[in-house]
Amino acid sequence: MNNQIYKKLMRRCFSLAKKSKGQNMPNPFVGAIIYDEEKKEIISEGFHKKYGFNHAERNAILNSKKDVKNKTLIVNLEPCSHFGKTPPCADLIIEKGIKKVVVALNPKVHSQGIKKLQNAGVEVIEGILEKEAKELNKVFIKNILYKKPYVMLKTAATLDSKIANEKGESKWITGELSRAYVQKLRSQYCAIMTGSGTILKDNPNLNVRIKNKISPTRIIFDPNNKVSLDYNVFKNDGVRIILINNSKIKVPDYIKKIPYDGNFDNLFKTLFKLNIYSIMVEAGRGLNSLLIKNQQIDEINHFIAPKIFGSGINFVDDIICDNIDNCIKLEDIKIKRFKDDILINAKIKKR
């Protein structure tokens, strides 16, 4: 079988997976196809619609109006081999006599599904569009490997890296199209995180201003207890609120207060236990710098506006690079244009 056909079918799996629209969390995005290689036709499709519901492979098999015996299953993630909310998909694949399974990604966490299939005589082909599969399930992979949320930093700066002028003014550095895209980004994350400095200076709402979109959890990083509860982010509007604060101040029931012990690993593991699977950071240079220095940022969306302030506030500071080879490096670079603004999307290269 030509790998180009498998790639085309795998891209279809990606499209199917995205139909869950986030209802699958904390499970991965998964789409599956049953393919008849002799007739060169798709005979069934399925995707993982919602956490606790059938997995994609099971849906594809059950949706088929034809016999799936000796057919090929295309799926973007290794079929599971364990009992969870649903029975093992690997067992069903073997039971139904599927002869071949084509997989994009084996996250090297369980790996038992592929072994079970191979031991039963099922041919398994791995690594089809693996890079794209990792991007689709970057949150799930971070969650399952490290028990921590996936963290994306969003910044908006001038050409000379200023997020505000010397008076602290920052509205608006970027244009309307860029700001609209930020709203879309917010809607894709479980939580938005900011620091006390941003709260005190801008008094933001940290919500999603898109019709029919639910605002994510608001996380306020305030370890020095600077913020009072009368700011916009603390309003009781039905949005979950987490305050990271070391004071003994009493908070209303709709605010969850957790302490900070100076260890970001511990903090993010605690947030993960609170079902925070992904975080978009929109903060000032203080929190930006802390998170970058402590290697907690996975991805950055950096907007650059065609402006030069000369003096002002950088989006990071207090990060020392005494050797060019030891600087913080970016990879998987993607560039978009929003009218006059430029967006650089990249992953932070692990050191």
Question: Which residues carry out catalysis?
Answer: 57
Token pair of 343 as six digits: 């967006």
If you ran DSSP here, which 8-state letter would residue 82 be given? S
Q: What is the dihedral of CA 98, 11, 152, 340, to 10 degrees?
A: 180
Cα separations in angstroms, 11 against 18, 35, 55, 129: 11, 14, 18, 8
21 CB-side CA count, 13 A: 6
If you ran DSSP here, which 8-state letter would residue 210 be given? S
211 φ/ψ angles, rounded to the nearest 5 degrees: -60, 135
Q: What is the chain's alpha carbon radius of gyration, rounded to the nearest angstrom?
A: 23
- Whether 144 contacts 109, CB under 8 Å: yes
Euclidean distance between the first and the last CA atom of the chain, given in angstroms as a whole number:
39
Q: What is the dihedral of CA 195, 200, 205, 207, to 10 degrees?
A: -10
- Whether 270 contacts 256, CB under 8 Å: no
- Whether 125 contacts 2, CB under 8 Å: no
